[in-house]
Structure 1
Amino acid sequence: MTYLPRSFAETDLAALDALLAQDSFVTLLSVDDSGAPFASHLPVLYRRDGDDVLIEGHHARSNPQVKHRGEVLMIVHGPHAYISPGWYADKLEAARVPTWNYAVAHLYGTLEPFDDEASLADLVDRLSQRFEASIGGDWRFDPGNEAERVQLRGIVGFRFRPQRIALKFKLNQNHPAANVRGAIDGLRRTGSEREQAVADLMQSRLHRRGS
């Protein structure tokens, strides 16, 4: 579970689409047989049809998480930024303090593993298409290359259809509009790409309030 105040809860799955379009490198958490948490960090492919979400990826075959059969938590990371109380319109009278704004998604469900060569080859090919395009590259998996097919023995694929999705967008929704505008202006002045992304999210939520 995660702490999710109502004012920060996002219900539109288009917000999940946007997070994974921006950053599809996720954290996958499980609990091992001893009760200890275990984490893997993985690139994934994502698609959604209405409320049905499918996420695909793979582990190294030697990763102990491959054997896990219980519930997992997948964390999708969005932009985040420090918010100075000096940016708020009511900083003095309300005795405002620093905070951190961020967007994140927590997805709960079970993994569906697979390791047949045809499915793994298809997955690796689609992963390479997705990420090579993002850097202007052209590498593709060649199923006719025996040396490349052998590499598939070192991985185990998974499909993940989350049964529960919690979207937390903490973007000063609990503040007066003047404070939000002040924080947006402060973030814009930093010039950092990450801060600009948070400012964009804050601006979109402010528009929803009609402010």
Structure 2
Amino acid sequence: MYAPRAFAETDLSQLDALLAADPFVTLVTTDADGAPFASHLPVLYRRDGERVLVEGHWAKPNPQAAHAGPALMIVHGPHAYVSPGWYPDKEAAARVPTWNYAVAHLSGQLRTCEDEAALADLVSRLSDCFEAGVGQDWRFEPGREDHRRQLRGIVGFRFEPERIALKFKLSQNHPAANRAAVADALEGLDARSRAVAGLMRAREATRTD
């Protein structure tokens, strides 16, 4: 990922926040011929210091379930179009349109799992996490044969990234008046744009220059 110094982020708490807000990732691998393949998956994430673990599963017929090895996981944050019309210096500096966004790229080795007990535990934790988010209470019941039978149709994975790159492009390369004007404009738009404005405001509050 191209990440100029002004937009590079090293604080892993920002990765925590991205995945707390949107734990639906893009996982990219290559097949035996070197062709790229992508899946879009809900995941469970946890971090202990510098160590990150991401877990999830595929449907067994998904070709990626046979792609254990090097992988790239893309974590998507909020993004929004930025109009040059919002900049106070738009004419003097001949400003052009751009896009503000936050994203993370995680690279490492993907490990697959088909052990029934491990899959049962994974599905239980996934359902507990996401059912709570929608106010429901479906649970995987390991004592039920019809539930256990469903495990035969999936392959689990564990992913411990060796490299983590975070890019938060939030108008850091603009003067303060431009940054404030963009955040103000984005706050008046849709929820996604407001989320970008929130990231900009939070970053502005910690600036020391």
Measured against the shorter chain, the TM-score band is over 0.9
Paired position in structure 1 for 2:191:
193
Deviations 1:117-144 (A, max 9, x none): 1100000000000100110010000111
Q: Structure 1 residue 210: deviation in Å?
A: 4.0
Code of the residue aligned with 1:203 in structure 2: it is R
The residue correspondences of 1:30-179 to structure 2 (distance < 5 A) are 30-179=29-178
Q: Structure 1 residue 33: deviation in Å?
A: 1.9
Paired position in structure 2 for 1:6:
5
Asked if the contact 2:69/2:111 (under 8 Å) is kept, the reply is: no
Q: Structure 1 residue 101: deviation in Å?
A: 0.4
For 1:116 and 1:86, how far apart are their aligned partners in 2? Answer: 56
Match of 2:161, SS?
Answer: coil
Q: Structure 1 residue 206: deviation in Å?
A: 1.5
Q: Structure 1: 5+ residue runs without aligned partners?
A: none
Deviations 1:60-98 (A, max 9, x none): 111111111331000000000001111111111001011
For 1:165 and 1:100, how far apart are their aligned partners in 2? Answer: 22
Match of 1:174, SS?
Answer: coil
Code of the residue aligned with 1:206 in structure 2: it is E
Q: Size of the alignment, in residue pairs?
A: 209
Aligned alpha-carbon RMSD (Å):
0.9
Match of 2:19, SS?
Answer: helix
Instruction: Point out the more displaced range, 173-182 or 60-69.
Output: 60-69
Identity %: 67
Code of the residue aligned with 1:193 in structure 2: it is A
Paired position in structure 1 for 2:179:
180
For 1:68 and 1:103, how far apart are their aligned partners in 2? Answer: 28
- What is the TM-score of this pair, normalised by structure 2? 0.98
For 2:181 and 2:196, how far apart are their aligned partners in 1? Answer: 13
Q: Structure 1 residue 3: deviation in Å?
A: 0.6
Match of 2:178, SS?
Answer: helix
Q: Structure 2: 5+ residue runs without aligned partners?
A: none
Paired position in structure 1 for 2:201:
203
- What is the TM-score of this pair, normalised by structure 1? 0.97
For 2:208 and 2:50, how far apart are their aligned partners in 1? Answer: 27
Asked if the contact 2:68/2:112 (under 8 Å) is kept, the reply is: no
